[in-house]
Structure 1
Amino acid sequence: MGYLIPGAALDRVSLLWRLRRRARRGCVCMALFCVAMGFLYAFCAENSVTATDAIFGVRARTRARPRTPGLGVERAVRGAPGHPAPPKVPGPPAGKMAAAATGPTAHLQVKPHGGPVVDPRGHALLNAHPDLHPKGPLVLSANLHSPPDAHPSLDLALNVNLVPHPNAHPKLDPSRSVRLNPKPNATVLPRPRFRAAPTFGPQPRGREDGGFLSRLVPPFLAMNKYGVNFEKPGARGAPRLSGGQLLCELKKRVQVTSLTPDLPPFSGLPWGSQLPRQPLTSALGPYRTCAVVSSAGSLRQSGLGKEIDSHDAVLRFNAAPTAGYERDVGTKTTIRLINSQVMASEDHHFLSSSLYSSGVLVAWDPAPYSSNLTEWYNRTDYPIFKQYQRYRQVHPQQPFYILHPQVEWQLWDQIQENMAEPIQKNPPSSGLLGTMLMMSLCELVHVYEFLPSRRRTELCHYYQRFLDAACTLGAYHPLLYEKNLVKRMNQGSDHDIYTHGRVTLPGLGTLNCTGSP
């Protein structure tokens, strides 16, 4: 005996089944439609600007325009249907050519009839000749090489092969090869053969930082925690010093030294005898070659480990390790410069970590701008002296110095005097302090990734996964101004900075400053 189902119930079940079936069909159709529209969008964006404009609009076509870096790519030029004219840019008068080569790409401006043509991505564009058919677009492919007879101030010469469009005027010879060489009266714009490294000028804010400093620096410019009272009339308006003059100024006015037991108030403290009897500049060195290894994230994948270890002495900062990063940063550690915050932080395990039990330790803590040692002793940023005593109990034989606080502010004065604008009233970074320390101990100093190389990244430290542009550009410390100063003193090439992040500085003891003012 079967079950009897009312007709109304059957109708409801049938209706629900039909709705579900229609919903499934609708989803399948919508998916197929989206796939088809995606293919159509890609095809139109690549091949038909007019169709893209008609279907999706000009803004969609602008977003979808493919980016094709490099040379050897065919480009439709001005006069082709559907291709807008390239943007007008200032250039030399009509009939002249301006060319500039930069590495594997080149910028070319050819103005046979006064019409400026340039591609901002490095592709050369030519105006269609008026004798050609108005509907015949001209396509070119540019190949770069350096012939022996190229202009001496031009890095690369251009061979341009012109390939006519099928609808082009028959007068155009498909096999024509046009050689573009500058004339004697040509305007040549020389460029380096490599991408220029960031340049740190006298007023860097708002240019290299992309607006970063304009957002973060003002609060630190307003603060004056250390009571800085910089009163040297006319210092900022003084003539710009050369690199050699800056080096001599540092030698004369920055005295790198450390605390000793005979200095008050330490001479009257029970633990004062634990301080080294000689200042570090007398006890250490002199070294012939030295490396200052920053902790920048751009050291990753640098492969500089062997070069760094080839130096007689290597300085590292704070908690920067070598284990696991030997290929990029080396293994040697002669001196480790640490700040009082690292010493006081439980996360760094200062008293127990093996990282701080090898080499020579040099600690520093910022003091008020005009204070003496007694005032600083009672007003440290972090408990540097308490941690120093505790460390001495665990490691009594470890060479351990405390940098005299006058070094920080003497160095700060030099930065401010050589900048055309006020800088942060905070002490310099550990990077500049370590560089100054090694210049006092060595004949030749190489500083790695203090000025960013082509590997520049927002990764703060090579041993951490923390992104912060302030680690490169600075916010609390006047870091960008420090880099400006180091860039001016650099005796190496810009190419070294770009490829290796390496700055070359002379030791202060090697300078002959007898004739300097």
Structure 2
Amino acid sequence: MKMKSQRFHWVCLVIVTLSVLLWYVHMTRSDGSTGNMGLQGYVRIIPGRMDQFLNMHCTQCALVSSSGQMQGADLGKEIDQMGCVIRMNNAPTEGYELDVGSKTSLRVVSHTSVPLLMKNESYYFRHSADTVYVFWGPERNMRQDGKGQIFNALMKMATKHPQVKMYMVTREKVQYCDRVFQNETGKNRMKSGAFLSTGFFTMILLMDMCDSIHVYGMIDDKYCSRAGHSVVPYHYYEKGRVDECRMYRMHERARHGGHRFITEKAIYARWASRNSVEFKHPSWNLQESSRDP
């Protein structure tokens, strides 16, 4: 009886193991991704399929701001040593390697910046073929029924450059980000006339994707109100344009269509106090910054 019982247990164990193995084989795609596993708010743009989710994890992430604070930062080597380097929109590295580094693991791009990437198609989709792209935008631009102009353009790029991994933030994830903003501020984003920034979507993604986040070149919410703060361009690659603090104040006060950059920075400070997030160049005093927006 004892031998039969042991055999029965072994047979059950083998059946369970084989079932798990067959499930894994079924879920595993030929391109090495695992079916519906991964970050389900980010779906790959690929002809004939919209069921592959972003499956990316990094121990250490460097988020490089597009801010003029990065001019003369001399942080390129430090940034490139991080496991994953994340950039936003069309922020270039060529000619700025000493300050911002040359490595780009992931690039988060707004729907408004897609035409800028397409103008320099060779640089972004051939030269940077190893970069993962995550695009976000409102439903009217990203809808998949043939009427979403930005989605249609991205699908053409994905067809033309099948080696490039291109993802989009799902409608459900955009709505989730709206709820996060409302929970943090007590304000409905749409009713307040605000648009979330690319930085906001990027921070949400990285908190799911990275064990630790090192943010370079991002100012805190009180920076622009301090006496003697440095005056730098809004973007490090656009010299002579409007300065950063002026742009932030303009957007913060806009009644319609503005990003709430300063409010978002206060939110990041609260997130940093609960997660492994470090702000560098300039460094943040998280106790001072963690106020209600």
Q: TM-score, normalised by structure 1?
A: 0.39
Tell me the distance in 2 between the aligned counterparts of 1:350 and 1:444.
Answer: 34
1:321 shift after superposition: 0.8
Q: How does 1:261-272 map to 2 (within 5 A)?
A: 271-272=47-48
Of 178, 201, 207, the match for 1:412: 178
Contact residue 351 and residue 390 of structure 1 kept, 8 A = no
Tell me the distance in 1 between the aligned counterparts of 2:177 and 2:272.
Answer: 17
1:307 shift after superposition: 2.1
Residue in 1 aligned with 2:194?
Answer: 426
Bigger proportion of residues as helix: 2
Tell me the distance in 2 between the aligned counterparts of 1:503 and 1:334.
Answer: 25
Q: What secondary structure sits across from 1:462 in the alignment?
A: coil
Of 44, 52, 55, the match for 1:278: 52
Tell me the distance in 2 between the aligned counterparts of 1:397 and 1:500.
Answer: 35
Q: What secondary structure sits across from 1:418 in the alignment?
A: helix
Q: How does 1:345-364 map to 2 (within 5 A)?
A: 345=115, 348-350=117-119, 352-357=121-126, 358=128, 359-364=131-136
Contact residue 44 and residue 166 of structure 2 kept, 8 A = no
Residue in 1 aligned with 2:263?
Answer: 481
Q: What secondary structure sits across from 2:185 in the alignment?
A: coil
Residues 450, 340 of structure 1: CA spacing in aligned structure 2 closer, same or farther, 3 A cutoff?
Answer: same
Of 447, 464, 467, the match for 2:242: 467
Structure 2 residue runs of 5 or longer lacking an equivalent are 1-38, 253-257, 287-293
Contact residue 360 and residue 398 of structure 1 kept, 8 A = yes
Contact residue 88 and residue 107 of structure 2 kept, 8 A = yes
One-letter amino acid matched to 1:272: G
1:318 shift after superposition: 1.2
Tell me the distance in 1 between the aligned counterparts of 2:147 and 2:219.
Answer: 33
Residues 444, 298 of structure 1: CA spacing in aligned structure 2 closer, same or farther, 3 A cutoff?
Answer: same
- The number of equivalent residue pairs is 225
Q: What secondary structure sits across from 1:450 in the alignment?
A: coil
- Comparing 303-312 with 470-479, greater Cα deviation is found at 470-479
One-letter amino acid matched to 1:354: Y
Tell me the distance in 2 between the aligned counterparts of 1:430 and 1:477.
Answer: 10
One-letter amino acid matched to 1:500: H
Q: What secondary structure sits across from 1:388 in the alignment?
A: helix
1:353 shift after superposition: 3.0
One-letter amino acid matched to 1:464: E
Tell me the distance in 2 between the aligned counterparts of 1:322 and 1:489.
Answer: 28
Residues 503, 441 of structure 1: CA spacing in aligned structure 2 closer, same or farther, 3 A cutoff?
Answer: farther
Residue in 2 aligned with 1:438?
Answer: 206
Deviations 1:453-488 (A, max 9, x none): 687435110001211445434341122211111112
Contact residue 447 and residue 504 of structure 1 kept, 8 A = no
Max radius of gyration: which structure?
A: 1
Residues 287, 470 of structure 1: CA spacing in aligned structure 2 closer, same or farther, 3 A cutoff?
Answer: same
Residues 291, 472 of structure 1: CA spacing in aligned structure 2 closer, same or farther, 3 A cutoff?
Answer: farther
Residues 327, 334 of structure 1: CA spacing in aligned structure 2 closer, same or farther, 3 A cutoff?
Answer: same
Of 303, 319, 323, the match for 2:74: 303
Tell me the distance in 1 between the aligned counterparts of 2:147 and 2:263.
Answer: 27
Residues 422, 405 of structure 1: CA spacing in aligned structure 2 closer, same or farther, 3 A cutoff?
Answer: closer
Contact residue 412 and residue 427 of structure 1 kept, 8 A = no
Contact residue 363 and residue 401 of structure 1 kept, 8 A = yes
Residues 432, 340 of structure 1: CA spacing in aligned structure 2 closer, same or farther, 3 A cutoff?
Answer: same
1:420 shift after superposition: 5.4
Contact residue 287 and residue 441 of structure 1 kept, 8 A = yes
Deviations 1:275-314 (A, max 9, x none): 4x4211xx21x21100111101111112222221121001
One-letter amino acid matched to 1:467: V
Contact residue 491 and residue 504 of structure 1 kept, 8 A = no
Q: Could you say what the CA RMSD is over the residues aligned between the two structures, in angstroms? A: 3.2
Runs of 4+ in 1 over 6 A off after TM superposition: none
Contact residue 69 and residue 218 of structure 2 kept, 8 A = no
Of 105, 117, 126, the match for 1:334: 105
One-letter amino acid matched to 1:293: V
Tell me the distance in 2 between the aligned counterparts of 1:390 and 1:362.
Answer: 16
Q: What secondary structure sits across from 1:353 in the alignment?
A: helix
Contact residue 106 and residue 132 of structure 2 kept, 8 A = yes
One-letter amino acid matched to 1:447: V
One-letter amino acid matched to 1:318: N
Q: What secondary structure sits across from 1:489 in the alignment?
A: helix
Contact residue 125 and residue 161 of structure 2 kept, 8 A = no
Q: TM-score, normalised by structure 2?
A: 0.66
Residue in 1 aligned with 2:23?
Answer: none
